[in-house]
Every structure is written in structure tokens, then in C-alpha cells.
Structure 1
Amino acid sequence: MKFLFTAGGSHSTVFSMAPLATAARTAGHDVLLTVDEPVLEAAEAIGVPAVPVPHPGEAAARLDALLDLSRDWTPDVVVGGLSYVPGLLAAHLGVPYVRQYWDIVPLRPEPALPELLERVGLDAPPEHALFIDVCPPALRPSPTPGARPMRWVPRNRQLRLEPWMYTRPKGRPRVLITAGTRAAKLRNTGDSTRRLVDGLRLTGAEVLVAAPPGAAEQFGTELGDVRVGWLPLDVVAPTCDLMVHHGGAATAMTGAAAGTPQLITPENNYAKEIARAFTGFGGARTVVPDDRPQEDPGEVIAESCREILADPAYAERAAALRQEIAALPTPYEMVAELEGLAAG
């Protein structure tokens, strides 16, 4: 059978789709993943066959590209997520559409939807044949009727591992900060991220800073025993006592699957929805430094980090969420559902 997965717009959408796509390949099926060019390398890094298509924001061009692809490689099932486009493709081909969605916020409006509907001869967006929800039930404010839950399985690119990545330090907490492109600012002692790192070091915590590959060589020993650079979050997260990040979907769910408390500093409305759900459950805290404009952001975040590390309730709630996720059906179990849809 042939399963076409569609993702794009960010690396996290690729990592979210990868476990189910990989499970389908392992079961012996043909799988293609379509993504926009900027995130194609993410699919390549995790070993999923991928084809470039226009960005999800270019809905009409993306639909045209998928229609062209389907003439040469016709799927038995289409699996999509955030966009209406995969469903329109499936309706045009007369095959089942599966919506896999981990998210907490509703499906985003598609400005070009009327034009797209006219293009495929539909009056309204088609209904999905199956809705796979990777959002843990405890975080879903209003469950979708008929949704099939599936376990979140962390997935990210891999490189050679070092022993410290999969072992906990003895006698001290470990805090992971996802800095991304902000890592370059760590050289500036006046930068808030640098002050956060310094503040955590003073508490005796081991600090890991997830940053682009090569960052470790740039800093050398400048930050003492702080480790800066590429980190396999799926391996490192279970060894941490706290994760500090900006509310990215894949990062938050990786921390949840590991049972790691989180401090989330959301920078947009999308991340705020994610932060609100995790904080409401009790395994995380949301910190918006702009709410305390007279104080240094790094010091505000460091203060909250210390409070989370000192309060065992955060770890207890994070562990409860991990247990809920672990009890959900695996992607391999969900492949049987896809096979049933394809068989009619």
C-alpha cells in the first residue's frame, strides 16, 4: 500500500509525522513525505523518503504540486495535519484522508480555501476518515469526537552520541535550555540568555544549551562546564530536571514524553496556547518576562527555574503526564487502522 504524508512550515511538523510514517515503512508499505524545501533536510536526517513541494502558505501551488505528484505516485491514503490541502487532495483522488494533529489550537483558517474548493469541485472541506490525536488527553481542552489517541514518540536528527548525553550527573540538577540562533549571544555577558546561564551555574546546576552544530567549538571553555551545541533532545530530555524553551510543539512534547518539568517562555500566540495547557496541568510554568519590564529577563527566568527545581510538585505532575503518554497506542498499532482504510 502507498501512504502519502504531508508536512511543512517547520521542522517540528516533520518530526511529528515521522513516527507514524516510519511505522508504516517498517510494516512494508511505500511511504512518501512531502515538505517544503527549507525543512527537507529534516526529513532526510531522520531517514524518511521526502519530496519537496511549495510552502504551506502557498496553498494553491502546494495543491498543484501534490496533484502532479499523485499522477505519478498515487497514494491509497493521504495523511496530513495543519492544512486543508491534504484533505482536498484525498477527496480529488477518492482515497481516505487521515488527519494527524497533536496540537491544542484549532485548525488554522485557509484564506485561499474557496479557490481551492472550486479547483477540486467541492462545496466544503472534506471530512477526515480518521483523526489521530497525539495531544495527551489531559492537555486537550475539548477532545474531538471520535479521535483516536496515539502516543507521541520523540524524533529528531541523530549524530554520534557521547556518554554524558544519556547519563544523569551525580549530585546536581541538570537544566536544558534551547537557545537556537540565540546561542551566539552567550558571548555577551549583558545578554539575558547569558545571565540565565550564569544564574543557573551559581546554583550548582549543570547547564546544557541546545544550539546549532559547531557552537561548542565557538565557545570552547569560555562558559566553564556549560555544554553548548547540538543535542539529541529525545536522548537528553530524560536525563534533565528541567527544560527551558519558547513553547515549540515538538520540544514541549519531547519534554512531556520524558517526564521532565518545563519552563516555557512563549513568544507568540501559538506558543502561548501550548504553554497554557502544560502549565494548567501542573508540570510546567509559563514565564513572560515582558510582564516584569523593570527586571532583567534572564534573572526573571532564573528565579522561576530555581523555584521549579525546589518544588517536587512539578516533577510529580510531569511524571504523571509521561505515564499517560506511555499508555497510549503506539504508531505501530495505528498502522493497522491505515491499512483498514486503504483496504476499504
Structure 2
Amino acid sequence: MRVLFVAPPDLKSHLYIMTPLAWALRTAGHDVRVACQPDSAEALAQAGLTAVLAGEPMAETLAEVDEQSEPPKRQAPPATLPVQTDYARDDPYAELEYLTTNLLPFLHTDAMLTDLIGFARAWRPDLVLWDAMTYAGPVVARACGAAHARILFGTDAFVQLWEAVRAAGGSRPDPMRTWLEPLLRTHGGGPFADDVVHGQWTIDTMPPWTWRPSAPHYIRMRHLAFNGPSVVPRWLYEPPARPRVCITLGMTHREADVAEASAADLLEAVGDLDVEVVATMSAEQLASAPRIPDNVRAVDFVPMNVLLPTCSAIVHHGGSSTMASAFEHAVPQLIVPSAYWSEKWFGPVAQANGLQARGAGVWLAYDSDYLTAAGLREDLMRVLKDPSFKENAVRLRTEMMGLPTPNEVVPAVEKLTAAYRRAV
């Protein structure tokens, strides 16, 4: 079986979510290629995957794409923390229309589609597996007659909005259809249908207790956190003398030049505590801090899979890969979602809701606009002193270990590909 993965440009964390399944298919004997724009070529090579380069490097970062739509800073914190079903409840149409006009098209340009469809028609993949932000995937699959499925990187929020728009009815055109139907027509992909939006099936990497829409056919798969090529630093050879706390803001926003929670606020919160802090932040992120406290070890990067087994807690932005690493090593989590764009609705809200409800962590603030050093310090000490947080994190790890691994998902992928491939 020939399998073509379609990855988004310059989003290493999304590529790393795909990597374990790509290798599971390869070690099962299938021919695997990963299509991307040139921005991701180095990351693909480092993951040991075979790249198919299409189009040109992104001319803009995600921050530049979205800066025109950034909402004004809020003056007062919301009265309650949200739940996933609150996303764009007042006007899902406007949110989805914005996404299909100002964000998603930038992730797969006309040049990328042209190159990719040319390759796919020559190589003839049986299956196209596409990142849930990269709608070049179904267009390519339709153009070459392959089966196709999505891989979720977080909450299925695009389909959430699409279902809400359809449920509301009215005379306004479906934004997804308005955007995708001309692409299908241009590239010989046939008529628009629902599977173009949600795939013929969907590989779901989210925890089973998170909210999800009703329409897609989901295949659950354990999110095996892949950290990329790395070396264990020598200082991690010895266990910490004090409780160790990791503070990280993830890799995606650092590389996309997107603002996160203030490093100054985060370090101020922990500077006088009897803990050892490992802050995985770049020099640019640390620039806002007047000084680095004596109990803080600032490192540009350290792989979560070797750091977290030594940690008593982790403070982070709610990214799916960071959460998967924390689940795997049973580390209590303190979540402060980014205030950037609508990002908190694509994983952090749904996961933070479930994490807090299960007593394995704390949702620190509505988002990073409302984080305070005093609030973080208080909640961190509560998590470190109350053993129930660790006990519940161990329980969640056991639950996650019961989900199918990428290797165990391969037979279902093979069966579904055969069924849908015959149908085209």
C-alpha cells in the first residue's frame, strides 16, 4: 500500500503528531511519503521520513497571517472558565468564514496543490492521510482516486464550527463548500461532499474524555509524543534534590513568532519557591524577564520524554504534544492557554476541562492575558503539596495506555483504505 501524508507548512508539532503513525505504516511494510512545503524539509529529514516537497516556502508566518484579526485585549477576566461547546456559539458562521478566507488557504497554496497533484497522479497513492488543518489532502486524494483520512492534532474544532453552521440553517452559503468546491473543480476532484470536510474517516489522537463533534467516523489512537532528534543532557543523569517543575510554552509559537504568556510573569511566580525549575524558553522569550532566578535552569530545548520523568509538575500552554508527554509520564499539569487568535479552542480548552475535572491538574487562567504570578504560585504549591494530583495523573496514564498504539491502528487503516479505495 502506498500512503501519502500531507503535512502543514512550518508547523513541526503537527508533523511530529503524524510521525509515529507514519513509521508504524512503514514498519508494517507500506511505502510512505510525506508531502510538505519546503519549510518542513529539515524536520522531515530529522524524523527519518521521505519528503515530497511541493510549492514554495511560506511568505508569511502564522502571526502575520492573523495579525489583522487579533481581538482587542480584554479588561476584566470572564466570570467562568469556558467549555468546548462555547466556541463561537454566538456566530459560528463568522468564525468559519474567517478561517476559510484568512487562515486555511495560506497553508496550501496554488503552487503546492499543483505540484502535489502532479506527484500524486504519477505515484498513485492508495491512501492520503492529511493533517486536519491541511485541506490540500482531500483535494489531492480526489484528484488521484485515493482513499483519504484526517489526523487530528487537537480538538476537532473546524468540524465543530461546520456542524454548527449547518445546524443553524439559513440562506448563507456553506463557507467550507465555497472555499473547497472551486479547488475540487479546478483539479478534477469531482463534486463537493461532506467527506471533503471531515475525511472518509479520522484518526483521533485526543484523550477519550474530550468533547468531539458527531459527524466524523473516528478511529482512536494513542498520541505517542515524538520530540524529534535530541540528546539527553548530562544534568538529567542525576535525580533532582528538590521537586522539579518544568515551565514550557511549546515549540510552535516560538518558531512562528507568536506571543505567549510572559516569561517575566512565569519566572516571578516561581523564583522564591523551594523547587528546581527547568524553563524551556528561547533567548527571545526570556528577554522580558529582568533576571533569571537562582532556582531556574533556562534551556533552549530539552526533550519532554527525558525531562518529564524527573518532574513533579509542568506548567504549559495546553499544546497536545506537551499534554501527551505529561500523560505518558503521569505528571500533574497546570494549564494557561495562549491568548493568540482562537487557538485555545483547538485543544487546550477541551483538555484542560477534562484534566481539571479528573483532578490531575489545574486550569490556571482563562488564557495568558489573565495569568498572574500570584495565582500561578498559589496553584503550583497546591499541586505539589496535594498527593491526589499525582495519584490522578497516574490513573490517567493507565487510561491512556489502554488506547490503541499506532501499530495497533494499522490493520484498521488497511481495511478502511481497501474499502474506500475500491469505492472510487
Give the alignment's TM-score, normalised by structure 1. 0.83
Distance apart, 1:325 and its partner CA: 1.3
**Corresponding residue number in structure 1 for 2:401:** 326
**Corresponding residue number in structure 2 for 1:280:** 353
What is the aligned-residue identity percentage? 30
Q: How does 1:176-187 map onto structure 2 within 5 Å?
A: 176-179=246-249
Q: Name the Cα RMSD after superposition.
A: 3.3
**Corresponding residue number in structure 1 for 2:171:** none
The answer for unaligned runs of 5 or more in structure 1 is 184-190
Q: How does 1:207-222 map onto structure 2 within 5 Å?
A: 207-212=277-282
Q: How does 1:1-344 map onto structure 2 within 5 Å?
A: 1-9=1-9, 10-54=11-55, 57-58=105-106, 59=108, 61=110, 62-82=112-132, 83-107=134-158, 110=176, 112-119=179-186, 120-126=189-195, 128-142=199-213, 146-165=217-236, 168-170=239-241, 172-179=242-249, 193-212=263-282, 223-224=293-294, 226-229=296-299, 230-266=301-337, 267-268=339-340, 269-272=342-345, 274-281=347-354, 282=356, 283-288=360-365, 297-344=372-419
Q: 1:144 to 1:227 in 2, by over 3 A?
A: farther
Q: Any conservation in 1 of the 2:326–2:332 contact (CA below 8 Å)?
A: yes
Q: 1:48 to 1:212 in 2, by over 3 A?
A: farther
Q: Deviations over 1:148-200 (max 9, x none)?
A: 21111010122221354366424x211111146999xxxxxxx9524533542
Distance apart, 1:130 and its partner CA: 3.1
Q: 1:313 to 1:273 in 2, by over 3 A?
A: farther
Q: Deviations over 1:245-283 (max 9, x none)?
A: 222222222222322222222123322553332332222
- SS for the counterpart of 1:285 is strand
Q: Any conservation in 1 of the 2:25–2:410 contact (CA below 8 Å)?
A: yes
Counterpart CA distance in 2 for 1:292 and 1:156 is 28
Which amino acid counterpart does residue 128 of structure 2 have in structure 1? V
- 174-183 or 45-54, which deviates more: 174-183
Counterpart CA distance in 2 for 1:167 and 1:6 is 41
Q: Deviations over 1:272-301 (max 9, x none)?
A: 5533323322223223387996xx833332
Counterpart CA distance in 1 for 2:180 and 2:21 is 27
**Corresponding residue number in structure 1 for 2:90:** none
- SS for the counterpart of 1:3 is strand
Distance apart, 1:104 and its partner CA: 1.6
Q: Any conservation in 1 of the 2:157–2:345 contact (CA below 8 Å)?
A: no
Q: 1:304 to 1:57 in 2, by over 3 A?
A: farther
Give the alignment's TM-score, normalised by structure 2. 0.68
Q: Deviations over 1:94-126 (max 9, x none)?
A: 221122224224226656213123222213243
Counterpart CA distance in 1 for 2:31 and 2:217 is 27
- SS for the counterpart of 1:99 is strand
Distance apart, 1:63 and its partner CA: 2.6
Q: Any conservation in 2 of the 1:247–1:272 contact (CA below 8 Å)?
A: no
The answer for unaligned runs of 5 or more in structure 2 is 59-103, 160-174, 255-260, 420-424
Which amino acid counterpart does residue 409 of structure 2 have in structure 1? M
Aligned length in residues: 331
